[in-house]
Amino acid sequence: MGIVVAGFAVITMLLVASSNMFNSFLNGSISDAQSLTQMTQANVKRSGSALNMISGDFYVGGNTDFTVHADNTGSQSVPRLCEMDVIVKYTDESDNSVLTRLDYVSSGIGDNQWTLAGTGVTPDIFNPGIWDSDERMFIDLRANPAVKSGTPALVVVGTPWAVADQTSVIAP
């Protein structure tokens, strides 16, 4: 009789251990599947996004204000410009390396901020106010402290879809 009870105890422990392992396997598989679904959705959004920086120029009379031009060469629109990243890396007049992310403002640009230039998005025919595919955006920037004369300022523009491009603008 003791052998039968011991046999039931061993079988019960094996069944409990097997069910726990199977439960862990199922939970892990579900979690992996959800992560894979989220990654696929992000990649699909990103695959339709592309950006091409065209050029940039400093405005006459200073080394703080400049403009860059970017083309939306992808199929994704950028409805909220405030979600974009504009980062500037340069050497200031004291030979210090400066790396800063500029904040977006809709108008009235201040130090370390960016906004749409007066020309804005062109041609802004489809979805006015949204940067759509095959449209060019003109961005005005103000960097403080000023960029050292004769040195480049690297401007990186990134979309909410994690696509970025860069251009170099030489200070006068």
pLDDT digits (tens, 9 = 90+) for 56-102: 999 987 888 999 999 988 888 888 889 999 999 999 999 999 999 99
> What pLDDT is recorded for position 48?
66
- Regarding whether 99 and 65 lie in a shared domain, the answer is yes
Count how many domains the chain has.
2
Query: CA nearest 65: which of 73, 56, 74?
Result: 56
- Regarding whether 23 and 75 lie in a shared domain, the answer is no
46 pLDDT exceeds 60?
no
Kindly report, residue by residue over 132-161, the tens digit of the pLDDT: 888 999 999 999 999 999 999 999 999 888
pTM > 0.75: yes or no: no
CATH number of the domain where residue 132 is located: 2.60.40
Mean pLDDT for all residues in the chain: 86
Q: Which helix (H) or strand (E) holds 28?
A: helix 2-47
- Regarding whether 80 and 19 lie in a shared domain, the answer is no
Record the tokens describing residue 93, joined without a space: 């007049």
Q: Which range marks the domain in which residue 3 is found?
A: 1-47
- Regarding whether 21 and 55 lie in a shared domain, the answer is no
- Regarding whether 95 and 26 lie in a shared domain, the answer is no
